[in-house]
Chains A and B, each alone.
Chain A
Amino acid sequence: MQKKEKLLEIRNLKQYFNIGKPNEVKAIDGISFDIYKGETLGLVGESGCGKSTTGRTIIRLYDATEGDVFFKGESVHGKKSRSELKKFNRSIQMIFQDPYASLNPRMKVSDIIAEGIDIHNLARNGKERMEQVYSLLETVGLNREHANRYPHEFSGGQRQRIGIARALAVQPEFIIADEPISALDVSIQAQVVNLMKKLQHEKGLTYLFIAHDLSMVKYISDRIGVMYFGKLVELAPAEELYSNPLHPYTQSLLSAIPLPDPEFERTRRRKTYDPSSHQYADHEEVIMREVKPGHFVHCSEQELKKYQAQYKS
Chain B
Amino acid sequence: MTNILEVKDLNISFHTFAGEVKAIRGVNFELKKGETLAIVGESGSGKSVTTKAIMKLLPPNNSEIKKGQILFDGKDLTNLTDRQMQKIRGKDISMIFQDPMTSLNPTMTIGKQIMEPLIRHQNMSKAAATERSLQLLRLVGIPKPEQRIKQYPHQFSGGMRQRVVIAIALACNPKVLIADEPTTALDVTIQAQILELMKDLQNKIETSIIFITHDLGVVANVADRVAVMYGGKIIEIGTVDEVFYNPQHPYTWGLISSMPSLDARDEELYAIPGTPPNLLHPPKGDAFAPRNEYAMQIDLEEEPPMFKVSDTHYAATWLLHPDAPKVEPPAAVVKRMQKFSGTK
Chain A residues in the interface with B (C-beta under 8 A):
46-47, 155-158, 185-191, 193-194, 197, 212, 214-216, 218-219, 238-239, 242, 252-253, 256-265, 268, 270, 273
Contacts and interface: CB of A to CB of B under 8 A. Distances in A.
Interface string B246-257: 000000001110
A186 B214 CA distance: 7
B192 A258 contact: yes
Nearest to B267: A197
B260 A219 contact: yes
Given A187-B272, A257-B217, A258-B221, A270 B192 contact: yes
A256 B191 contact: yes
A155 B278 CA distance: 11
Nearest to B157: A48
Contacts of A212: 187-188
B220 interface: yes
Given A185-B43, A239-B265, 17 more contacts: A46-B189, A155-B275, A186-B255, A187-B255, A187-B258, A188-B271, A190-B269, A190-B271, A194-B271, A218-B265, A219-B260, A256-B188, A257-B188, A258-B220, A258-B221, A259-B220, A262-B220
A243 B215 CA distance: 23
Interface residues of B, number: 42
Interface in B231-274: 240-241, 244-245, 254-256, 258-262, 265, 268-273
B269 A252 contact: no
A274 to B, nearest CB: 12
Interface of B: 42-43, 158, 187-192, 195-196, 214-221, 223, 240-241, 244-245, 254-256, 258-262, 265, 268-273, 275, 339, 343
Contacts of B217: 215, 257-260, 265
Contacts of A260: 216-217, 219-220, 244, 256, 259
17 contacts: A185-B214, A186-B259, A190-B272, A191-B271, A194-B268, A194-B269, A197-B268, A218-B260, A219-B269, A252-B189, A253-B189, A259-B220, A260-B216, A261-B220, A261-B244, A263-B339, A270-B192
B188 A214 contact: yes
Contacts of B191: 256, 258
A218 B260 CA distance: 9
Given A185-B214, A257-B217, A157 B189 contact: no
Contacts of A191: 271-273
Given A260-B220, A262-B244, A47 B158 contact: yes
A258 B258 contact: no
A259 B336 CA distance: 13
A156 B216 CA distance: 20
A187 B231 CA distance: 14
Nearest to B275: A155
B276 to A, nearest CB: 8
Contacts of A155: 275
A304 B273 CA distance: 47
Nearest to B195: A258
A207 to B, nearest CB: 16
Contact of B190 (A46, A194, A239): A46
Contacts of B195: 258
A187 B221 CA distance: 20
Contacts of A216: 260
Contacts of B259: 186, 215, 260
A189 B271 CA distance: 8
Which 8 residue pairs spanning A and B have beta carbons closest together? A258-B217, A219-B260, A260-B216, A190-B271, A46-B187, A185-B42, A190-B258, A256-B192
Contacts of B221: 258, 265, 268
A265 B216 CA distance: 11
Contacts of A257: 188, 217, 262
A257 to B, nearest CB: 6
A6 B42 CA distance: 40
B188 A253 contact: yes
A243 to B, nearest CB: 9
B265 A187 contact: no
Most chain-B CB neighbours within 10 Å: which of A186, A214, A218, A265? A186
Contacts of B271: 187-188, 190-191, 194
A43 B269 CA distance: 20
A277 to B, nearest CB: 16
A157 B275 contact: yes
A14 B14 CA distance: 51
Contacts of B245: 262-263
B269 to A, nearest CB: 5
Contacts of B269: 190, 193-194, 219
Contacts of B218: 258
A238 B265 CA distance: 10
